[in-house]
């Protein structure tokens, strides 16, 4: 009732201009319970009974499948009891032996302690002692030997395992007896990080095989379009999928709020007002913001409109302060909190009545994760998505039904990126000599890759297999967050803000650039490629900068081609040459000045998707009196903007180029390429899903109410040509011609 | 193929940069025995390397040293042998027996205060307590071990009640004929996880000490050299090292593990670092072997190579196929072994 009256109230506010695009009511679900074929142990069952827990269908299925020795991936929603679903069978199996062990990996160190607590609770309840422990970079040196010697459950993260594998002998007991590897938040293992982790897991499996262990895998993940493919690529194993949710939940009101309907009030002000109205309506509310600064401002503004207790939450606060806020949320003494995505995953804060998502978080997956914070048992809950002036935000505002369809987003992992492969092979060789029989762990190109490393004297073939020849410890020079190309550290006051690839550094950290980090602005002072350091300083700026660059693409090898009518679509290896030639200082989309830069040109090889356009389309555009080059350029921008909808990535990870005459194709061509050295799988995925990409891009451009293009459709914040020329109507012709050919 | 080569080359460059950082990195404390090089040491070493490359162009190790190819089931490696006229006269079981017998602290519950009280009552030797209801049995064990020369048990008993650096601990060495001792020192490509290139052992024999250096001319020869050395160490009654407890022995085990050959090895081990630290700490700026050698043994090395530059010199040897840069590595290792034996003799002196 509270929610319905709040919704009515919102529509009577004096600043309401029809911002509510849709109120989607997701019906409640009664719990669906299931019985196990064989009951759990008496101690565990008593523990469940005491806490009033009955097993839902998905939990029972997870238990049965794990008992059968299968690998599983669980994709039920947040708060559906996933952790219990795999902890129970793992505890059951471990309790049946005196030695079996399990390794739990979390993508972030910060999540380990919360998990440890739930494991220890279960240990106590079941009267079992597996000495469950966290073992990672923060574990004090003197505790380590004891944990390695006796813990039967270890909670860690991939960064730590990456370092420890070389010391596998010290882990002998734990590895020999390893029965389970749990990868929680498995959707986070995507893109560059995911591809690195996939190869790290191949290294782990090889070491485990050396000790005679072959563990079962348990993956828990948010919903995505390709869970089985993802699990397989990540681990190399086959999986059973558990997706049907048996847990109980109340009604959920999902509101799409389009702040652009009232341009007189800023989007952030609308979000903070919504937060105040929610808490005034007695709904305990979490408001996700896009930046740290916004988390604080939103709290500050909202506090003016309510007497309820509010707080801001973000990474960078002291642990005590964060604990206090988490506690306040759990105990309901805090009524509203504005937060960065730091509260999106893992951290235990209980459930709230309502969530406001101020700005589409980039993926549908994250949106659902954040939405999952609302909904207490079977009570009603409310989620509000506030769309910003970006293509994807506005696409969903106009097509909310797309949001609720089955998932479109694919997690991508590339097992063929040569940079990543060589780096991990080198690590593997330094961990244990690699024999010919091991090469299958690293794909079909083993021998060729080994020879490349040998030619540089990094490894050598010996009668014992390939062995590492020395120099630095490989795990020290291989990072899981980057492709093994040169990286630049962005420093501010001597601290590292971010480590970014050189390519991106040239565009974003040249002197004079306004660098955005977690929503805050920094002014760049210097960039030293030789030292790999860029210096930034804090600066509260009301302008931003746009890089101007020239790009060139040469096609090196076509991997695959398909014809779409008279269009020809390709995916393959390309050579990209980019040079930053200057930058524009912009305020409110108006250029204030242009500065020239003299930076080196960079060349890198990557994977691209490209398509050629027939002259008939050009004629149609010309006949209508539109600009051909502007149309190609606008279509390219829109396609890139929609790509993350299918291949989960940041739009900054993708580059593009359009030209009315390309030297290698001899005709008008649009390229979309991976912004990472060697490619990370974005282009391949886009090739696979191209017709869907065209469909949604067409809808995006067609349904945007602007006349000649705007930041919600064809403008790109990353455009190297300052968004010129752009012709929205010509782009629509091109996209609709593509649609026609696809549907023929 | 060209791409792969470029990517691999980039990896190599990163490895080289990381390695060079390790030479100078001011925020990383050089671990013992693997001290960082100062910039001037580095420059001097590079000059040395250049002159060695000229001097030894086209030369073979066989022309300079007494060498021999060795072979075992894992492959071949090179043995380089030197002899130095150093006679060790540390064998004196009576003295060892006397020292240990007078160490009442080897008994359960006896600390300095109680020992003092016992001495005051005329009890000065373990055997005085042979019939004691509380300690008699323990005393009997110790006496039996001495009788049977069970040094491992004695070493454990000493380690249980006395610090490793206690002078009594090294007196144990007087039970052992020098010919059953092996002095031991290795040279590697870095700290852990990287290959060993040279394993040196020194064996006293009568009026001389024989130094055997087992050298891997390339990585393929590491394992056979390792296995060979390991067997020698196993056969010794005791091994003598400088920081070998923390470093050399673990390193050998680590490398054998790396090759999938896990091993147990708990030898009687006189690690002179602990003793040197206790004896000389107050007089010396540090207790690196080079410093002890210079200040205590009064020996000066003509050329010396900081350990941290060993990998660089070895890589140059491989790349240039020129033995020049090996000379200081071999000499450094040999010198360490000889100093080790002299230091051992000095520390054993009553």
- List the single range of A454-468, A500-514, B123-137 with lowest mean pLDDT: A500-514
- Cα(A324)–Cα(A625) distance, integer angstroms: 63
Q: What is the pLDDT of residues A571-584, one digit of tens each?
A: 999 999 999 999 99
Distance from CA of A383 to the nearest CA of B (A): 47
* Mean pLDDT score, B257-278: 92
**A179 pLDDT higher than 90:** yes
Residue of B nearest to A422 (CA): B8
Question: How far is residue A266 CA from its own chain's centroid?
Answer: 28
Peptide bond into B172 cis (omega under 30): no
Which residue, chain included where needed, has tokens 């389309």?
A617
Residue of A nearest to B308 (CA): A471
**Helix (H) and strand (E) counts for chain B?**
14, 7
pLDDT band of residue B31 (cuts 50, 70, 90) is very low
* Mean pLDDT score, B185-192: 88
User: Is the distance from CB of B225 to CB of B77 less than 8 angstroms?
Assistant: yes
Distance from CA of A390 to the nearest CA of B (A): 37
Residue B29 has what pLDDT?
Answer: 39
Phi, psi angle pair for A724, to nearest 5°: -135, 145
Residue B28 has what pLDDT?
Answer: 38
Which residue, chain included where needed, has tokens 């005709």?
A667
Chain A residues in contact with B3 (beta carbon < 8 A): 418, 605
Chain A: residues touching B (Cβ < 8 Å): 166, 169, 172, 210, 418-419, 422-423, 426, 430-433, 448-449, 452-453, 455-458, 460, 462-464, 467-474, 476-477, 484-486, 605, 678
Residue A116 has what pLDDT?
Answer: 94
pLDDT band of residue A484 (cuts 50, 70, 90) is low
Nearest Cβ partner for A484 among B4, B10, B318? B10
Which residue, chain included where needed, has tokens 């230091």?
B343
Question: A214, exposed or middle or buried, with CB in 10 Å at 0-12, 13-18, 19+?
Answer: exposed
Nearest Cβ partner for A453 among B8, B16, B18? B8
Strands (E), B189-226: 196-205, 208-215
Nearest Cβ partner for B257 among A169, A472, A476? A169
User: Is the distance from CB of A547 to CB of A508 less than 8 angstroms?
Assistant: yes
Q: What is the pLDDT of residues A692-712, one digit of tens each?
A: 999 999 999 999 999 999 999
Chain A residues in contact with B252 (beta carbon < 8 A): none
Bridge partner list, B210: B83, B203
Look at residues A661, A684, A452 and name the one whose alpha carbon lies nearest to residue A573: A684
Position with higher pLDDT, A343 vs A181: A181
Bridge partner list, B215: B78, B198
Distance from CA of B198 to the nearest CA of A (A): 14
Query: How many CA atoms does the CB half-sphere of A216 hold within 13 Å?
Result: 22
Question: pTM, whole model, 2 decimals?
Answer: 0.90
Residue A503 has what pLDDT?
Answer: 77
* Mean pLDDT score, A312-332: 87
Look at residues B257, B251, B263, B258 and name the one whose alpha carbon lies nearest to residue A431: B258
User: Is the distance from CB of A325 to CB of A311 less than 8 angstroms?
Assistant: yes
Look at residues A368, A324, A366 and name the one whose alpha carbon lies nearest to residue A349: A324
Residue A722 has what pLDDT?
Answer: 85
Domains of chain B: 61-89+176-348 (3.30.420.10), 93-165 (no CATH)
* Mean pLDDT score, A615-642: 96
Distance from CA of B257 to the nearest CA of A (A): 7
Residue B27 has what pLDDT?
Answer: 40
Chain B residues in contact with A423 (beta carbon < 8 A): 11
Query: How many CA atoms does the CB half-sphere of A98 hold within 13 Å?
Result: 0
Cα-based distances in Å from B160 to A195, B105, B152, B157, B336: 50, 10, 12, 5, 30
Determine, for residues A430 and B9 on separate chains, whether the beta-carbon distance falls below 8 Å. Answer: no
Chain A residues in contact with B219 (beta carbon < 8 A): 460, 462, 467, 469-470
Determine, for residues A448 and B4 on separate chains, whether the beta-carbon distance falls below 8 Å. Answer: yes
**B14 pLDDT higher than 90:** no
All residues at 6 or more sequence positions from A630 whose CB lies less than 8 Å from its CB, including other chains: A725, A726, A727, A730, A731
Chain B residues in contact with A169 (beta carbon < 8 A): 254, 257, 262
Q: Is B15 in the A-facing interface, judged by CB distances under 8 Å?
A: yes
A-B Cβ pairs (cutoff 8 Å, strict): 117
Determine, for residues B15 and A472 on separate chains, whether the beta-carbon distance falls below 8 Å. Answer: yes
Position with higher pLDDT, A397 vs A488: A397
Phi, psi angle pair for A522, to nearest 5°: -130, 145
A375: left (phi over 0), alpha (psi -120 to 50) or beta: left
Would you state the structure tokens that stand for residue B54, as one six-digit string?
A: 């000229």
Determine, for residues B7 and A448 on separate chains, whether the beta-carbon distance falls below 8 Å. Answer: no
All residues at 6 or more sequence positions from A641 whose CB lies less than 8 Å from its CB, including other chains: A390, A391, A392, A651, A697, A700, A713, A716
Best residue in A210, A427, A472 for a mutation probing chain B (most B CBs within 10 Å): A472
Distance from CA of A676 to the nearest CA of B (A): 14
Q: Is B76 in the A-facing interface, judged by CB distances under 8 Å?
A: no
All residues at 6 or more sequence positions from A316 whose CB lies less than 8 Å from its CB, including other chains: A292
Would you state the structure tokens that stand for residue A159, as one six-digit string?
A: 């960064």
Best residue in B193, B256, B263, B321 for a mutation probing chain A (most A CBs within 10 Å): B193
Residue B22 has what pLDDT?
Answer: 66
Q: Is B11 in the A-facing interface, judged by CB distances under 8 Å?
A: yes
Question: How far is residue B219 CA from its own chain's centroid?
Answer: 22
DSSP A218-245: EEE----S-HHHHHHHHHSS--EEE---
* Mean pLDDT score, B26-44: 57
Taken in order A31, A32, A35, A37, is the CA torsion positive or negative? negative
pLDDT band of residue A316 (cuts 50, 70, 90) is confident
Determine, for residues B14 and A472 on separate chains, whether the beta-carbon distance falls below 8 Å. Answer: yes
Determine, for residues B260 and A433 on separate chains, whether the beta-carbon distance falls below 8 Å. Answer: yes
Q: What is the pLDDT of residues B109-167, one digit of tens each?
A: 899 999 999 999 999 999 999 999 999 999 999 999 999 999 999 999 999 999 999 99
User: Is the distance from CB of A273 to CB of A262 less than 8 angstroms?
Assistant: no
Chain A residues in contact with B312 (beta carbon < 8 A): none
pLDDT-above-70 percentage for chain B: 94
Cα Rg of chain B (Å, integer): 23
Residue A542 has what pLDDT?
Answer: 85
Residue A349 has what pLDDT?
Answer: 84
Residue A674 has what pLDDT?
Answer: 93
- Cα(A545)–Cα(A527) distance, integer angstroms: 16
Q: Is B59 in the A-facing interface, judged by CB distances under 8 Å?
A: no
User: Is the distance from CB of A429 to CB of A467 less than 8 angstroms?
Assistant: yes
DSSP A386-418: EP-SSHHHHHHHH-HHHHHSS---B----S--H
**A714 pLDDT higher than 90:** yes
Averaged pLDDT score across all residues of chain B: 90
Averaged pLDDT score across all residues of chain A: 93
Residue B190 has what pLDDT?
Answer: 82
Would you state the structure tokens that stand for residue B196, as one six-digit string?
A: 């060993």
Cα-based distances in Å from A254 to A27, A384, B274: 11, 6, 70
User: Is the distance from CB of B215 to CB of B325 less than 8 angstroms?
Assistant: no
Chain B residues in contact with A554 (beta carbon < 8 A): none
Would you state the structure tokens that stand for residue A587, as one six-digit string?
A: 């305020």
Chain A residues in contact with B260 (beta carbon < 8 A): 210, 432-433, 464
**B23 pLDDT higher than 70:** no
Q: Is B261 in the A-facing interface, judged by CB distances under 8 Å?
A: no
Chain A residues in contact with B254 (beta carbon < 8 A): 169
All residues at 6 or more sequence positions from A132 whose CB lies less than 8 Å from its CB, including other chains: A116, A119, A120, A123, A151, A152, A153, A154, A155
Phi, psi angle pair for A214, to nearest 5°: -140, 85
pLDDT band of residue B34 (cuts 50, 70, 90) is very low
pLDDT band of residue B32 (cuts 50, 70, 90) is very low
All residues at 6 or more sequence positions from B348 whose CB lies less than 8 Å from its CB, including other chains: B90, B170, B171, B173, B174
**B260 pLDDT higher than 60:** yes
Q: What is the pLDDT of residues A420-448, one digit of tens each?
A: 999 999 999 999 999 989 988 998 888 89
Determine, for residues B10 and A485 on separate chains, whether the beta-carbon distance falls below 8 Å. Answer: yes
**A354 pLDDT higher than 50:** yes
Look at residues A461, A601, A554, A422 and name the one whose alpha carbon lies nearest to residue B6: A422
Distance from CA of B247 to the nearest CA of A (A): 15
Distance from CA of B82 to the nearest CA of A (A): 28
Q: CA torsion angle for A77, A79, A81, A84 (degrees, to 10)? A: 120
């Amino acid at each position: 009732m509270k929610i319905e009256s709040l919704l009515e109230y919102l529509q009577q506010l004096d600043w309401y201009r029809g911002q509510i695009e849709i109120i989607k009511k997701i019906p409640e679900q009664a719990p669906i319970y299931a019985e196990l074929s064989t009951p759990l142990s008496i101690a565990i069952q008593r523990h469940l009974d005491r806490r009033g827990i009955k097993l839902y269908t998905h939990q029972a299925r997870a238990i049965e499948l794990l008992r059968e020795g299968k690998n599983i991936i669980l994709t039920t929603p947040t708060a559906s009891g996933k952790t219990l679903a795999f902890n129970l069978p793992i505890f059951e199996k471990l309790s049946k032996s005196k030695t079996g062990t399990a390794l739990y990996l979390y993508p972030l160190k910060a999540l380990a302690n919360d998990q440890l607590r739930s494991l220890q609770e279960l240990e106590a309840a079941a009267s079992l002692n597996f000495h469950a422990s966290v073992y990672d970079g923060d574990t004090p040196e003197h505790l380590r030997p004891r944990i390695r010697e006796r813990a039967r459950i270890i909670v860690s993260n991939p960064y730590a395992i990456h370092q420890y594998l070389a010391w596998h002998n010290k882990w002998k007991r734990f590895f020999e007896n390893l029965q389970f590897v749990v990868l929680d938040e498995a959707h986070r293992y995507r893109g560059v990080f995911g591809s690195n982790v996939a190869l790290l897991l191949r290294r782990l499996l090889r070491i485990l095989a050396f000790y005679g262990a072959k563990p079962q895998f348990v993956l828990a993940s948010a919903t995505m379009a390709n869970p089985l493919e993802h699990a397989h690529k990540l681990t190399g194993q086959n999986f059973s999928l558990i997706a049907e949710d048996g847990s109980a939940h109340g009604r959920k009101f999902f509101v799409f709020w389009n702040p652009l309907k009232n341009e007189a009030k800023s989007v952030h002000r609308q979000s903070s007002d919504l937060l105040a109205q929610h808490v005034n309506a007695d709904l305990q509310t979490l408001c996700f913001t896009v930046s740290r600064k916004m988390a604080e401002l939103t709290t500050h503004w909202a506090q003016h409109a309510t007497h309820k207790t509010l707080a801001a939450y973000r990474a960078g606060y002291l642990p005590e302060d964060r604990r206090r806020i988490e506690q306040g949320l759990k105990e309901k003494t805090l009524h509203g909190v504005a937060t960065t995505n730091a509260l999106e995953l893992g951290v235990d804060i209980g459930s709230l009545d309502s969530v406001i998502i101020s700005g589409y978080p980039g993926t549908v997956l994250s949106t659902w994760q954040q939405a999952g914070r609302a909904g207490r048992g079977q009570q009603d809950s409310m989620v509000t998505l506030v769309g910003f002036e970006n293509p994807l935000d506005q696409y969903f505002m106009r097509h909310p039904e797309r949001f609720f369809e089955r998932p479109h987003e694919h997690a991508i992992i590339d097992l063929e990126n040569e940079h990543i492969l060589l780096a991990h092979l080198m690590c593997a060789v330094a961990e244990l000599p690699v024999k010919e029989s091991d090469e299958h762990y690293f794909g079909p190109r083993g021998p060729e890759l080994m020879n490349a490393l040998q030619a540089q004297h990094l490894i050598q073939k010996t009668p014992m297999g390939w062995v590492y020849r020395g120099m630095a410890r490989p795990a020290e020079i291989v990072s899981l967050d980057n492709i093994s190309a040169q990286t630049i550290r962005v420093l501010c006051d001597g601290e590292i803000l971010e480590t970014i690839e050189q390519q991106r550094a040239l565009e974003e950290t040249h002197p004079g650039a306004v660098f955005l980090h977690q929503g805050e602005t920094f002014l760049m002072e210097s960039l030293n490629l030789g030292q790999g350091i860029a210096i930034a300083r804090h600066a509260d700026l009301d302008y931003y900068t746009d890089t101007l660059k020239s790009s060139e693409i040469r096609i090196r090898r076509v991997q695959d081609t398909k014809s779409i009518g008279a269009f020809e679509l390709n995916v393959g290896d390309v050579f990209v040459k980019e040079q930053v030639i200057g930058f524009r200082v912009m305020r409110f989309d108006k250029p204030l000045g242009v500065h020239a830069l003299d930076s080196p040109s960079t060349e890198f090889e990557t994977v691209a998707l490209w398509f050629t356009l027939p002259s008939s389309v050009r004629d149609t555009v010309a006949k209508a009196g539109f600009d051909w080059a502007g149309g190609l350029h606008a279509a390219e921008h829109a396609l890139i903007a929609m790509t993350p909808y299918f291949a989960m990535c940041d739009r900054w990870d993708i580059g593009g180029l359009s030209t009315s005459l390309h030297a290698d194709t001899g005709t008008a061509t649009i390229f979309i390429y991976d912004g990472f050295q060697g490619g990370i799988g974005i282009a391949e995925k886009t090739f696979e899903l191209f017709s869907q990409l065209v469909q949604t891009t067409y809808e995006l451009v067609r349904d945007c109410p602007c006349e000649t293009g705007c930041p919600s459709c064809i403008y790109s914040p990353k455009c190297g040509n300052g968004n010129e020329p752009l012709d929205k109507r010509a782009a629509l012709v091109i996209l609709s011609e593509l649609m026609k050919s696809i549907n023929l | 193929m060209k791409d792969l080569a470029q990517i691999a080359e980039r990896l190599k460059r990163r490895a080289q940069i990381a390695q060079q950082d390790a030479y100078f990195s001011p925020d990383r404390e050089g671990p013992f025995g693997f001290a960082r090089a100062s910039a001037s040491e580095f420059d001097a070493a590079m000059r040395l390397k250049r002159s060695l490359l000229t001097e030894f162009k086209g030369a073979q190790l066989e022309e300079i040293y007494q060498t021999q190819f060795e072979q075992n089931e894992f492959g071949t490696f090179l043995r380089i042998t030197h002899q130095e006229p150093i006679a060790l006269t540390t064998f004196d079981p009576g003295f060892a027996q006397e020292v240990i017998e007078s160490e009442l602290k080897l008994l359960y519950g006896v600390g300095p205060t109680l020992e003092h009280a016992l001495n005051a009552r005329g009890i000065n030797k373990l055997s005085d307590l042979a019939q004691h209801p509380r300690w008699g049995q323990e005393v009997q064990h110790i006496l039996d071990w001495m009788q049977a020369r069970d040094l491992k048990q004695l070493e454990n008993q000493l380690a249980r009640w006395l610090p490793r650096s206690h002078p009594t601990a090294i007196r144990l060495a007087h039970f052992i004929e020098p010919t059953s001792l092996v002095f031991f020192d290795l040279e590697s490509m870095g700290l852990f996880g990287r290959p060993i290139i040279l394993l040196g052992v020194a064996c006293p024999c009568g009026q001389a000490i024989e130094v055997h250096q087992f050298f891997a001319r390339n990585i393929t020869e590491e394992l056979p050299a390792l296995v060979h050395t390991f067997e020698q160490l196993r056969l010794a009654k005791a091994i003598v090292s400088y920081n070998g407890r923390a470093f050399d022995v673990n390193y050998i085990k680590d490398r054998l593990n790396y090759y999938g050959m896990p091993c147990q090895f708990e030898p009687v081990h006189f690690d002179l670092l602990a003793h040197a630290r206790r004896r000389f700490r107050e007089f010396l700026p540090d207790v690196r072997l080079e410093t002890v050698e210079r200040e205590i043994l009064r020996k000066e090395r003509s050329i010396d190579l900081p350990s941290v530059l060993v990998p660089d010199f070895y890589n140059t040897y491989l790349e240039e196929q020129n033995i020049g840069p090996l000379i200081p590595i071999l000499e450094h290792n040999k010198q360490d072994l000889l100093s080790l034996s002299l230091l051992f003799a000095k520390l054993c002196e009553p």
